Amino acid sequence: MKLDNYVVVSGMSGVHEIVTSRNNGIVIKHIDSGKSTFCSVRKHQFTPLSTVGIYTLEDTEDLKTVFTKMLSVIDKTPPVSTSAPKHEIEEYFEQIIPEYDEDKVYVSDMKKVIKWFNYLNERNLLTVEDTSGEEE
């Protein structure tokens, strides 16, 4: 799963693909329309998805790992709606990452992760890579 080219931009909905970077901002491409837009660093904040992590009791869990776990259980445990009650979102997240730090990970963070996952998964941009040989 490659999240290196995807970024969330403040003030713009959804996840965008990075086309190129400049000294004063980045050029992003809207995934659905393919339209490219320049976003200035003076006006926007950028969050590359590859840099996002979820706090656990021991360390942090990469978003790539979280998305992989969500994909692996999507048939029997589909993601809950982001408008679901707080306890349902927390229960779902606990099934995905049982050791997440409840003091540092807020429901708003969980909603973002679910929203990003749904956005990318609906567009078939999330695939589980073959990791055999990398472990051990």
Residue 130 to residue 122: CA distance in whole angstroms:
21
Q: pLDDT tens digit string along 64-96?
A: 999 999 999 999 999 999 999 999 999 999 999
Residues 6+ apart with CB under 8 A from 75: none
Q: pLDDT tens digit string along 12-32?
A: 988 999 999 999 999 999 999
